[in-house]
Structure 1
């Protein structure tokens, strides 16, 4: 039976794991069903209840995925489902935003045959999802996307050492994997997808998987996990996330105001979360900070990471989280297909959704410049982003670190994609 805990308790538990530091490894992590949160809060204009896909880690040096599965309430439905195959299920059977919504909201010409062709987006997660490829096929068929299989060379799955000795299966991380694969598919249908499965959710194993993704040639790597900061994190920066010329994204977190690692790393693009709503504006969409009663996108001022030269906000002497953002509110969540521990179509949110979306936008923009830090790219072209100016994710005295406003703010960074121009190196 699932045990419910509050968001505050989740934050406390994550903080406790950081006391010993990120350097510890080799300890057991709780199974996904051991302690997921199940909170009922209002998000956006809807009310939903959600459950964490992954358990809160029980030991230092372990991280949790940032996927939230909707378990009750009324999330929005995709209002522009786009083309579907003739054998696809009726659109009414699928709740949550689909590819046409994501592409429309962020002004992406993803459907063009040349968009993203030849690019590989790597997804790094822990544990194995035995149904990853078949579930991905169902999602893509539902929305009329081109097939992405191991047979046609579009999809590949490896362990953290680049082989096929996959780790043990885990239903919680399988939900995260499905979310990640589906968001890459929705945002960049012509991209190849590389799934790298870490042996455990330890910082060391996940970091080794990041290195493996880069070794295998991926120029775009999404990481939808995080944990509390630690004084050891700068060592992990250099070991795992410092890859010039590679766009590495990381989720800002799902527990509201506060900083997670690896999102705090200056070598990654830290991705916050928004509530996304279709409206009658010229854009056709509006966004605000994803924030609720204890849940919401992470943000804030890093305790340990130095401020990169390309960040110029004056209220934080260190690295500020986030850089950019995309939809993450479970109440305005995305459609996901998962059958390992789930029954098929689900609605998911969390910054685990926004991280692979942004990694895929980088892929649509083209290869990063050699020896560059792609996290700095959006700061060079802020006009090519949708500025998010309303909402808050917690209590920071009303400052920009937790409250949206014109220009840069912590919860949404510089804003959300308006095409790909802000992501060109």
Structure 2
């Protein structure tokens, strides 16, 4: 954890009257992060890192109130795959498929026709279309191909070629993303925009292309530490009339992740989802790895009113992300000998799933930020229980009734909130 991140976390704990220490649960040893840990910036300016902040004007666009030194950070994806089960193209899929997710979140079986959900990732997965076809065939979803106009893959400039170099780790992420959109909204079209690299500058260019694609929602399953120079990249996530979503991160309660911390972005946290003998048929609690925290840079939006974070709080909404209660994904590129059916989680799963729910509802135009969710919180499942770190039982790291940071306002209960 760098000095800025440590200082912000200490400040949050002192606000709660707690010692300036934290003990986030260790990651499950049977799970593996798909992407390498490359959060940190290639250059820093710690002497000015606490002197600049983002402010939000009346149009909800985001800007800096001063101009810190620009850095060139690299994002990492938040996909986590689970070991200890049968891999391979002929294996029986483990993890939840579309039917279970529709049951858990009370989603209608159809809807979303004419809607497009865009996915922004780095690098190329050359097998993504074939693997998507295998996933959809396995679960009885309609075909989504380039030939029938449902699927489109482009580079960050919006062209079909040349595509970026392949990257196996991001390849798992890409497979997860397109499968989760498919699970939530089988009738939605999917546009995959692949950035040249995982630099936030290239991902920002890909974001602009995705928003201009006709998509009603754009999902970003990656993040980096907040950094000096965020003003150079924050503008890429301001697209009125298009819902922009980002994963909250997989490291529990700590300083917020970019771009999830931006006021224009819907920050998606994570839950553990388990079948149960109750009226819903499921229980859901905060996932131990779900990212939550206070931004060091972004002022609190007018529509967010939690008491113990004076800045933007992450997250806004959530869905299943725990790889131990994870999702069935088909990928023949990222894991070599383990290629085929895998179980994947992380908030990389919940962001594209919520983007798919927005596509299913057909109201992406109302989500220039997360404010609409805060007026429809009663239409979500309130996720209670679980923790993602130490904060003395406070809502910043604990699943409590009403708003809490690991799960936000809750998870989908049908499409009423969307």
TM range (shorter): 0.7 to 0.9
**8 Å Cα contact 1:97/1:335 also seen in 2:** yes
Does residue 55 of the first structure (1) align with residue 36 of the second (2)? yes
Deviations 1:133-154 (A, max 9, x none): 0000000000010000000000
Match of 1:102 in 2: 101
Once the two structures are TM-superposed, the CA of residue 365 in structure 1 deviates from its matched residue by: 1.5
Once the two structures are TM-superposed, the CA of residue 219 in structure 1 deviates from its matched residue by: 1.6
Does residue 93 of the first structure (1) align with residue 92 of the second (2)? yes
> In the aligned structure 1, how far is the partner of 2:126 from the partner of 2:33?
20
What RMSD over aligned residues (CA atoms) do the two structures have, in Å?
2.2
Once the two structures are TM-superposed, the CA of residue 341 in structure 1 deviates from its matched residue by: 3.0
**Unmatched tracts of structure 2, length 5 or more:** 7-24, 43-72
Match of 2:410 in 1: 415
Does residue 66 of the first structure (1) align with residue 63 of the second (2)? no
Q: Which moved more, 1:227-236 or 1:198-207?
A: 227-236
**8 Å Cα contact 2:295/2:312 also seen in 1:** yes
**8 Å Cα contact 2:244/2:368 also seen in 1:** no
**8 Å Cα contact 1:40/1:49 also seen in 2:** no
**Unmatched tracts of structure 1, length 5 or more:** 1-10, 17-38, 43-47, 76-88
Once the two structures are TM-superposed, the CA of residue 316 in structure 1 deviates from its matched residue by: 1.0
Which of 381, 385, 388 is 2:383 aligned to? 388
Match of 2:286 in 1: 289
Q: Which moved more, 1:322-331 or 1:207-216?
A: 207-216
> In the aligned structure 2, how far is the partner of 1:348 from the partner of 1:404?
22
Which of 162, 166, 182 is 2:179 aligned to? 182
Deviations 1:352-387 (A, max 9, x none): 0000011111111213346x6241111011111000
Which of 134, 144, 149 is 1:148 aligned to? 144
Query: SS state of the match for residue 281, structure 1?
Result: coil
Query: SS state of the match for residue 421, structure 1?
Result: coil
Aligned length: 363
Match of 2:225 in 1: 228
Match of 2:67 in 1: none
**8 Å Cα contact 1:67/1:176 also seen in 2:** yes
**8 Å Cα contact 2:317/2:409 also seen in 1:** yes
Match of 1:406 in 2: 401
Change (3 A) 1:374 1:169: same
Which of 136, 140, 165 is 1:168 aligned to? 165
* Correspondence 1:257-272 to 2 at 5 A: 257-258=253-254, 259-272=256-269
Which of 199, 202, 215 is 2:196 aligned to? 199
Match of 2:340 in 1: 344
**8 Å Cα contact 2:216/2:365 also seen in 1:** no
Which of 296, 301, 323 is 2:294 aligned to? 301
Does residue 323 of the first structure (1) align with residue 323 of the second (2)? no
Match of 1:122 in 2: 118
Deviations 1:104-151 (A, max 9, x none): 111100x22xx0001000000000000010000000000010000000
TM-score normalised to structure 2 length: 0.83
> In the aligned structure 2, how far is the partner of 1:95 from the partner of 1:254?
21
**8 Å Cα contact 1:270/1:322 also seen in 2:** yes
Q: Which moved more, 1:249-258 or 1:228-237?
A: 228-237
Once the two structures are TM-superposed, the CA of residue 232 in structure 1 deviates from its matched residue by: 2.5
**8 Å Cα contact 1:241/1:268 also seen in 2:** yes
Once the two structures are TM-superposed, the CA of residue 398 in structure 1 deviates from its matched residue by: 2.4
TM-score normalised to structure 1 length: 0.82
> In the aligned structure 2, how far is the partner of 1:378 from the partner of 1:270?
11
Query: SS state of the match for residue 62, structure 1?
Result: coil
Q: Compare relative contact order (CA 8 Å, sep 6+) and give the higher one, 1 or 2.
A: 2
Query: SS state of the match for residue 226, structure 1?
Result: strand
**8 Å Cα contact 1:221/1:359 also seen in 2:** yes
